[in-house]
């Protein structure tokens, strides 16, 4: 059985990546590399990846070739080692002890291929007392302090309604991988990239840390930020706008529009509450005050700016139904990313995989 259609050329064309990971964050890192042209071979268990057939599948598998390997069997392990000998990158999220027991951990694969980059994704990282604990982006959000900061001041901590930690963790993992590849180009040696899911969250909460003093952890502020006129406001037509008046000029102009006296946020909320969403956006854009409508997914797909840039793609798949996929980002002027096959088939021929891998 073949391994899918030819991939488009891109900035990472020729980069050979083995994605032997499961779930979301680690496979998404490999997907981002595939979006930019890397040749990614996704290794699945013989029964197929758990996400196969779901609408998560295009996110974790698009643009990849897929190969069934039983990494609990000697034959599957031998095939992976043969592939890794010629790979640039291996992406994994297994417990380190499991990989070492099977002979496919960092020490074993780097001995076979000294130029290999192994991207190891885990919640807590490869070192430290919690290294062996299981986790996901959600666990990283809670442990990293983001959950504590989300929600209203009098309410409980809240998780975001999206897999934020996994997506941010994947982007951080790609940065580490590309940095390791650049270093290899100058030094000729591979290395392991230890990408935790909680540490990128610390970059998100760093702004709140500026309010920190020993024994006084910052708390929840809803949609507000201390020191900044920033919030989500309801308009008279039942919709919402997001505003961040982050400079003194922005704030002064916004308060002039709002009029009245007293609490700044209440003044702005009262003024916006008497206008339609489109009227608020127009009034603030004219004065170059940062504002945006709070969009639903349907509104994003219909938005003229999103449509012209192709930022969010509506794809109709015979097997998976209607899909909304974010276009590869950031934009490259000469070698932009592209969305590959959203439903790659599961290959079973190791010889076919090796032939493609060596071509």
Catalytic residue list = 166
Compute CA distances 323 → 28, 56, 354, whole Å.
16, 10, 32
Pairwise CA distance, residues 178 & 228, whole Å: 35
* SS3 category, 136: coil
Q: Do 234 and 223 touch, CB atoms closer than 8 A?
A: no
Nearest to 258 by CA among 237, 229, 218: 229
Q: Do 34 and 40 touch, CB atoms closer than 8 A?
A: yes
What's the count of helices (H) and strands (E) in the chain, helices before strands?
Answer: 15, 12
Q: Do 144 and 202 touch, CB atoms closer than 8 A?
A: yes
Backbone angles phi and psi of 196, in degrees to 5:
-85, 165
- Sorted by sequence, the CB contacts under 8 Å of residue 245 that are 6+ apart come out as 228, 229, 230, 251, 253, 254, 289, 290
Pairwise CA distance, residues 81 & 352, whole Å: 16
Q: Which residues of 60-88 are buried (b: 16+ CB within 10 A; e: fewer)?
A: bbbbbbbbbbbbeeeebbebbbebbeebb
Q: Do 243 and 267 touch, CB atoms closer than 8 A?
A: no
Backbone angles phi and psi of 50, in degrees to 5:
-60, -25
Nearest to 118 by CA among 181, 32, 72, 198: 181
Q: DSSP states of 227-255 as a string?
A: TBEEEEEE-TTS-EEEEEE-SHHHHHHHH
* SS3 category, 96: helix
């Amino acid at each position: 059985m073949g391994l899918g259609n030819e991939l488009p050329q891109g900035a990472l064309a020729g980069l050979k990546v083995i994605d032997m990971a499961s779930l979301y964050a680690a496979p998404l890192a490999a997907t981002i590399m595939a979006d930019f042209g890397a040749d990614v071979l996704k290794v699945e268990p013989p029964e197929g990846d758990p996400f196969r057939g779901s609408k998560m599948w295009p996110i974790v598998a698009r643009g990849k070739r897929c190969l069934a390997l039983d990494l609990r069997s000697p034959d599957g392990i031998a095939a992976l080692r043969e592939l890794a000998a010629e790979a640039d990158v291996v992406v994994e999220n297994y417990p380190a002890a499991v990989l070492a027991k099977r002979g496919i951990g960092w020490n074993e694969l780097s001995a076979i291929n000294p130029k290999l980059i192994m991207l190891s994704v885990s919640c807590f990282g490869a070192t430290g007392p919690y290294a062996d604990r299981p986790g996901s982006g959600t666990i990283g959000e809670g442990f990293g302090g983001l959950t504590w900061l989300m929600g209203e001041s009098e309410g409980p901590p809240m998780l975001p309604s999206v897999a934020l930690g996994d997506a941010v963790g994947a982007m951080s993992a790609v940065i580490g991988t590309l940095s390791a590849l650049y270093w290899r180009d100058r030094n000729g040696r591979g290395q392991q990239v230890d990408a935790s899911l909680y540490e990128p969250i610390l970059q998100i909460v760093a702004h709140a840390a500026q309010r920190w003093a020993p024994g006084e952890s910052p708390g929840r502020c809803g949609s507000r930020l201390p020191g900044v006129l920033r919030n989500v406001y309801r308009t008279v037509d039942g919709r919402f706008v997001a505003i961040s008046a982050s400079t003194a000029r922005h704030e002064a102009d916004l308060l002039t529009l709002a009029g009245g006296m007293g609490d700044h946020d209440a003044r702005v909320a009262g003024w916006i509450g008497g206008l339609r969403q489109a009227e608020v956006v127009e009034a603030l854009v004219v004065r170059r005050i940062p504002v945006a409508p709070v969009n639903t997914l349907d509104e994003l797909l219909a938005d003229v700016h999103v449509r012209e840039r192709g930022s969010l793609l509506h794809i109709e798949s015979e097997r998976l139904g209607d899909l909304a996929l974010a276009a590869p980002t950031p934009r490259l002027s000469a070698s932009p990313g592209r969305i590959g096959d959203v439903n790659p088939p599961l290959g079973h021929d190791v010889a076919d995989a090796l032939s493609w891998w060596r071509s």
